[in-house]
């Protein structure tokens, strides 16, 4: 049997909006190029070799737990891994982002395959099992995948884009094919995340890196139904589901309606405003600007305190950056952030308040 | 003497929140690559040669007036033209965005020059005069420049960026140098726009393409004071000032405080929500998603109608896209949008209401 993190781990408790001793924190891309121990591994293997090697993926997944003392591990993997088994080859360069064999037109969309992740993405399941053994119950392990809309942009544009012209042309010019593609991508996301949960992931995150390029009405009409279906199926496993939307300031009410346990918000919207719009029924993750970690430590602490202050008074805040940590970040600054969040948590100040606030919030949900 | 557009032109009236016969519309980057007549000119000259040739710049500036029947012309120019006279060379490629000789550190910032635009950017003034003659009073001519923060990102990053890492490192790591650079860029923006007004520009727009990368509190602390100084000086000329912020959904209250006559908002925020947050004292420009023009004409008309409906009931709406028109756009779709806005304006429906609403709105400002 695998050692599980205790169900009472503060990260999992916060996902369920239960009171915690201190605010839990993890960092998007915490296993990444800003860490010298990660770069040492990457000198020997490519990005894709690393993602496909269960032992090495487990090794780099655990690195930031040891160094930073964060409250959750996130599997070293990539948001696009479902595309190749669907029939769309992906190549990863260190610069310029991934390149994807683009899908164009209804016939090509119709030809995209469904697949069995326990066969085609078996290395992900194996990496999860090895990571869980290496973590030995210290912190929970998060699995993840790209969201259907974000996967659609990579598949349709053939990679990164600034204008999203091809994606939007599909959305506005051929909405039926767009819906078909979102639906097929949604099915792949769902089966891949369920496989990650079966393999031992204790929470899952759906990364919608490009949700912010959609208007609220387009998100609602095209994307929300697909997301609701995925989230409902994942939640049936009992594992918390995090939906993260970069640039999602205009979408918050709709993001709450995905049914996610936790909505991750970027750094562009003040956390208290975001949470007021998300409503009582959801936990919130965020939202320090990743570039804030370029500041000196006292300035980082001030900015962290401001976010903690905005989240105080109700349980269900998971501290994170608003987007992935940048490769130029000094690791000591990331550690200083984690320490600050662990030391300075408004909820901690008055233990008697915690129960009252918690039961109040839970009662309202 | 130049022929002026009548002071009662609907674009200028809307800038002042006066009642109009129909909602005025122009399109960001309306003189651009989506037009075959523009591409024909660009086959002969580079982007920079075109911007620096008063005759050709005037020619392409007038092209969309003829084809689309928009209500304002905007000078063919570039947001970065103040950088070379300050000492930072810029090169323009058709792909990958402009490259700028990067400025790093306080000494390099201190060495940036101030300059006389009537000498160093004389070709801009000449292009404005020739364009005004070619327009012959048909529609007003808008001049423009990049905003200090946006110029800072190009100057510090050396071009386009996804992460804004160098800019944010300056902002958080050396705020005094950041303020000095913003101040020097602000002085250049101010003198360049005043020169454009002297040369005949009948409105000016400050493009803050990357304002959306700043949190509201950073915008307020670092950028707002510089913007307020520029806007105040420009408004003293009596010419309307438009401040456009891409990705500015979290900044709207601060954008109103720049003092601009008109705030341009992108397509990510519903126009009525944006206007409610901007308040009564400002006109609003926007905000159709540029990629909406990839849809068929009935869908474009529905999306345009939705925006017109959100803006109905008070004067001061200038229709525009939420960002620049994309090169892949069919020109006929842009024309269909202009026609729709000119035909279908809620304000037009009930003439008796117009005066009442206008005086109400003006009375409250």
What is the percent of chain A with per-residue pLDDT over 90, rounded to a whole number? 83
Cβ of B247 within 8 Å of Cβ of A267? The answer is: no
pTM: 0.83
Could you list the beta-strand ranges (E) of B229-340.
241-245, 262-265, 283-288, 317-321
Residue linked to tokens 């993405």 = A121
Instruction: Name the residue with tokens 């032992």.
Output: A55
Chain B residues touching chain A at CB-CB below 8 Å: 163-165, 167-169, 171-173, 212-213, 215-217, 247, 249-250, 267-270, 289-292, 294-296, 299, 306, 326, 328
* A162 to chain B: closest CA residue: B162
Binned at pLDDT 50, 70 and 90, residue B49 comes out as very high
| Cα gap B327→B32, rounded to integer Å | 7
The tens digit of pLDDT for each residue in A20-78 reads 999 999 999 999 999 999 999 999 999 989 999 999 999 999 999 999 999 999 999 99
CA distances to A28, A59, B66, B175 from A272, rounded to whole Å, are 20, 36, 49, 26
* Residue A113 structure tokens: 């395959």
Rounded Cα distance, A205 and A262, in Å: 9
Q: What Cα–Cα distance (Å) separates residue B81 from each residue in A17, A158, A292, B325? A: 52, 33, 30, 21
> Dihedral (C-alpha) A223, A228, A234, A238: value to the nearest 10 degrees?
150
pLDDT surpassing 80 at residue A7 = no
pLDDT level of residue B2 (50, 70, 90 thresholds): low
Quote the minimal CA–CA distance from B351 to chain A in Å: 31
Residue A122 corresponds to which tokens in the numbers above? 């078996």
How far lies A88's CA from each of A91, A103, A156, A180, A207, in Å?
Answer: 10, 8, 10, 16, 19
Could you say which of B169, B247, B292 has the minimum Cβ distance to residue A291? B169
Token pair belonging to A185: 């991508």
Q: Give the model's confidence band at B360: pLDDT under 50 very low, under 70 low, under 90 confident, else very high.
A: very low
Q: CA B308 → CA A4, B280, B285, B327, distances in Å?
A: 56, 17, 11, 25
> What is the Cα–Cα distance from B218 to B224, expressed in whole angstroms?
9
Predicted ipTM? 0.73
Q: How many CB pairs under 8 A join A and B?
A: 82
Q: What phi-psi label fits residue B335: left (phi over 0), alpha (psi between -120 and 50 degrees) or beta?
A: alpha
**What mean pLDDT do residues B89-118 have?**
90
pLDDT at A268 over 90: no
Strand order in the sheet with B73-74: B73-74, B141-146, B203-208, B241-245, B262-265, B283-288, B317-321
pLDDT at residue number B6: 64
Read off the pLDDT of residues A273-326 as tens digits, 9 standing for 90 and up: 999 999 989 999 999 999 999 999 999 999 999 999 999 988 999 999 999 999
pLDDT, position B87? 96
d(CA A205, CA A207): 6
Residues of A with active-site annotation: 29, 33, 42, 78, 154
A2 confidence band (pLDDT: 50, 70, 90):
low
Cβ A294–B326 below 8 Å, yes or no?
no
Name the β-bridge partners of A203. Answer: A142
Coil, strand or helix at B116 = coil
Beta-sheet strands, E only, within A97-180:
99-100, 141-146
Question: Does an H or E element contain A262, and which?
Answer: strand A262-265
Q: How far apart are CA B321 and CA B254, in angstroms?
A: 21
Q: How far is CA A125 from CA A3, A38, A52, A90, A122, in A?
A: 16, 21, 10, 20, 5
Q: Of the ranges A240-249, B85-94, B335-344, which one carries the lowest mean pLDDT score?
A: B85-94
| Averaged pLDDT score across all residues of chain A | 91
Residues of chain B in contact with residue A328, where contact means CB-CB under 8 angstroms, are 165, 169
Residue B235 has pLDDT above 90, yes or no: yes
- Tens of pLDDT, residue by residue over B164-220, are 889 999 999 899 999 999 999 999 999 999 999 999 999 999 999 999 999 888 999
Nearest to B172 among A165, A172, A291 (CB): A291
Q: CA dist A275 to A71, A263, A323, A363, Å?
A: 22, 9, 17, 17
Confidence at residue B8, expressed as pLDDT on a 0 to 100 scale: 83
pLDDT band at residue B348 under the 50/70/90 scheme:
very low
**B328/A169 touch (CB, cutoff 8 Å), yes or no:** yes
Instruction: Find the mean pLDDT for residues A99-119.
Output: 94
pLDDT at residue B359 is higher than 60:
no
Give A278→chain B minimum CA distance, Å: 16
Using DSSP, state whether A1 is helix, strand or coil: coil
């Amino acid at each position: 049997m695998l050692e599980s993190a205790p169900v009472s781990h503060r990260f999992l408790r916060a996902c369920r909006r239960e009171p915690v001793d201190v605010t839990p924190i993890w960092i998007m891309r915490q296993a990444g190029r800003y860490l010298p121990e990660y770069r040492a591994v990457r000198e020997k293997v490519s990005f894709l070799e690393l993602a496909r090697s269960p032992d090495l993926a487990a090794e780099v997944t655990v690195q930031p737990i040891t160094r930073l003392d964060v409250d959750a591990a996130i599997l070293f993997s990539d948001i696009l891994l479902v595309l190749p088994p669907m029939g769309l080859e992906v190549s990863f360069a260190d610069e310029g982002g991934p390149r994807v064999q683009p899908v164009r037109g209804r016939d090509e969309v119709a030809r995209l395959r469904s697949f069995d992740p326990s066969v085609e993405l078996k290395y992900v399941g194996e990496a999860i099992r090895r990571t869980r053994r290496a973590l030995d119950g210290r912190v929970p392990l998060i699995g993840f995948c790209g969201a259907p809309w974000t996967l659609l942009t990579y598949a349709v544009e053939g990679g990164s884009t600034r204008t999203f012209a091809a994606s939007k042309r599909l959305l506005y010019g051929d909405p039926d094919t767009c819906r078909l593609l979102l639906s097929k991508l949604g099915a792949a996301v769902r089966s891949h995340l369920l496989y990650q949960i079966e393999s031992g992931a204790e929470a899952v995150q759906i990364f919608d890196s490009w949700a912010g390029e959609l208007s609220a009405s387009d998100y609602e009409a095209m994307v929300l139904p697909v997301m609701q279906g995925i989230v409902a199926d994942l939640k049936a496993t009992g594992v918390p589901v995090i939906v993260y939307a970069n640039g999602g300031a205009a979408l918050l009410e709709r993001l709450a309606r995905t049914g996610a346990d936790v909505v991750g918000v970027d750094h562009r919207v003040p956390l208290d405003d975001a949470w007021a719009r998300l409503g009582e029924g959801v936990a919130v993750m965020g939202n320090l600007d990743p570039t804030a970690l370029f500041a000196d430590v006292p300035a980082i602490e001030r900015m962290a305190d401001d976010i903690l202050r905005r989240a105080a008074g109700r349980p269900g805040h998971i501290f994170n950056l608003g987007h992935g940590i940048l490769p130029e970040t000094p690791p000591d600054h990331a550690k200083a952030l984690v320490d600050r969040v662990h030391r300075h948590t408004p909820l901690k100040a008055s233990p008697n308040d915690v129960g009252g606030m918690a039961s109040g919030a839970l009662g309202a949900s």
